[in-house]
Amino acid sequence: MNMPTILVCDDEPHILHVVASKLRNAGFTVVTAEDGREGLDAAREHRPDLILTDYQMPELSGLELCARLRGDPQLAEIPVIMLTARGFAPEISGADGSNIREVLTKPFSPREVLQRVQATLGIGAVPGD
């Protein structure tokens, strides 16, 4: 079985590394980006099955990235899990019609990220999680 491809966008290298490692260890194909514009380019190139993105990033914020994805018919249906610092979730929760399926507030555990990814994609636990 081919595992889904996940795009992880975060400008904090530690978070990017930890999240990407957890997902790779669970068997997912992972593509990373360090800012919103790089994330948009990676989404166009790799057509991931799901995107994990930070809310606050340089170039394009997580919300701006989601808006650009929605504006592209080939990317509009990709589900997004938004990673955010405490205090920013209320703004995100009002994003009606967006592709944001989940909001995870930092700090979060890598296991929680994996569980949310699996739930969003509708797949059960995989070996290595």
Residue 126 pLDDT > 70: no
Task: Please check whether residue 129 lies inside any domain of the structure.
Answer: no
As a whole number of Å, the CA-based R_g of the chain is 13
Task: Please check whether residue 86 lies inside any domain of the structure.
Answer: yes
The count of domains in the chain is 1
Mean pLDDT of the chain: 87
- In 3D space, the residue among 120, 122, 111 whose CA is nearest the CA of residue 26 turns out to be 111
Pairwise CA distance, residues 41 & 125, whole Å: 30
Question: DSSP E strands: which ranges in 20-79?
Answer: 29-33, 50-54
Pairwise CA distance, residues 35 & 54, whole Å: 9
SS3 state at 18 = helix
The residue that leads in pLDDT, 53 or 95, is 53
Which of 9-13, 64-68, 96-100 is least confident?
A: 96-100
Residue 69 pLDDT > 90: yes
Domain span holding position 97? 5-121
- The CATH number given to whatever domain includes residue 93 is 3.40.50.2300
pLDDT digits (tens, 9 = 90+) for 12-48: 999 999 999 999 999 999 999 999 999 999 999 999 9
